[in-house]
Amino acid sequence: MSARILSSLAAAAALACNPFSKASDCNRFARLVNQHLDTIEQRAQQKTPASYRALAGNYRQLVADLRKQPLAPPLGVPTGNELADQFEAAVPALDAYATALETHNVQRTAEAERRLEHIARQEQQSVTRLEAFCRPR
């Protein structure tokens, strides 16, 4: 799996709302997500089935934490639960990728990689909308 895909997933996880944002919800939400970022980025650099399974576990924890403290922005901006849903979609794709690597199944590896690319694009679109909301005016 390319580092670009995992970097996209990790970048989406960062949700780096502007630190000067007037919206305390954005800052709280960004802090929550950013606490997971170091571990996710570190795992994403490793290229073993075990590291992808561990990365899936990191995403599971991120999802659980997001659901505990959801962000509720205005209509048209993704909520914390919507982002959690998108991050959650990465979990089975990462697990599938790890399994494909373990079994040396080239077709399933390519399928899982395409799924992760698709998820990363969706997450990036949501993050872009959220960042626009969090940007100070």
What confidence tens digit (pLDDT) does each residue in 3-25 have?
455 555 555 555 444 444 345 77
Domain edges within the chain: 3-134
Alpha helix stretches (DSSP H) within 1-137: 3-14, 24-45, 49-68, 80-103, 106-134
pLDDT, tens only, 60-101:
998 888 888 766 666 566 677 777 888 888 899 999 999 999
Mean pLDDT of 17-42: 69
Average pLDDT, the chain: 77
User: Is the CA virtual torsion 59, 64, 67, 68 positive or negative?
Assistant: negative
Pick from 41, 82, 88, 79: nearest CA to 60: 88
Torsion angle defined by CA atoms of residues 82, 87, 90 and 94, in that order, rounded to the nearest 10 degrees: -160
Task: Answer with the residue of higher pLDDT: 43 or 63.
Answer: 63
